[in-house]
Homo-oligomer: A and B are copies of this chain.
Amino acid sequence: MTMSTSSTDPARATEPKRERGRLRVAAIMTAGVEVFTEKGYDAATMTEIAARSGTAIGSLYRFFPTKEALADALLLQYAQQVKNGLTELKQQVPGMTLERVADAFVDMMLLLRSQRSFAIALMDARGGSADERKRFRKVMRGGVADILCEAIPALPAAKAKVMSVVLIHMLKAVVGIADEESSVRAALLAEMRQLVRMYLVSAAPQSGE
């Protein structure tokens, strides 16, 4: 269905050719993340995103021809960050114990937390196109599965895939827990950390009975 060449991606609008445009787009995306996070996809308004980014509404629409397009772009950006995080993590895996790998997953989530809240908002609230959401999931799962394989060499690919899904759900829980009242947050995070470690360790050949 999609047209051939990559430059006319329906999700993204005109490529920012000039420096000014790039800055503008960056400002818009920042504002977009903010507003979507605060209000959720539906309650967020293009007008507010424009205002917060100091952009005229017309200009915003030049770069992102649709609210959905903006959401998609934001999701894509987040996906990229996750991808980068996963790639980086993957390279560090060789010298790490499984426990450290588990912690690294959790830390990565916490690092991306602010963005992640918004991503959840968009994913769960049907913001952005279903396609984009699917693509995002795929990238995420693939990356995590890769790391798992790296960390647990004996892990069959199929098992890695299954584990990645479960693991990602647990990492989602990490974000949710990080939003809890601060009085119990520390204890909850520690518990989650422990659980994630346990999960990974349990999958390693020598420990699984």
Contact = CB atoms under 8 A, between A and B. Distances in A.
Interface of A: 39-43, 120-121, 124-126, 158, 161-163, 165-166, 169-170, 172-173, 176-177, 180, 184, 187-188, 191-192, 195, 198-199, 202
B198 A42 contact: no
A98 B41 CA distance: 40
A163 B184 CA distance: 11
A177 B169 contact: yes
A134 B149 CA distance: 40
A124 B124 contact: yes
A126 B40 contact: yes
A39 B124 CA distance: 10
**Identical chains bound together, number:** 4
Given A173-B170, A173-B173, A40 B124 contact: yes
A162 B191 contact: yes
Contacts of A199: 195, 198
Residues of A contacting B: mostly: helix
A14 B120 CA distance: 36
Contacts of A120: 124
A12 to B, nearest CB: 22
Contacts of A180: 165
A177 B192 CA distance: 19
Contacts of A125: 40, 42-43, 121, 124-125
A163 B191 contact: yes
Given A40-B42, A126-B43, A191 B166 contact: yes
Contacts of A163: 191
Nearest to A117: B124
Nearest to A127: B40
A42 to B, nearest CB: 3
B173 A169 contact: yes
6 contacts: A40-B41, A125-B125, A161-B184, A165-B191, A166-B188, A172-B173
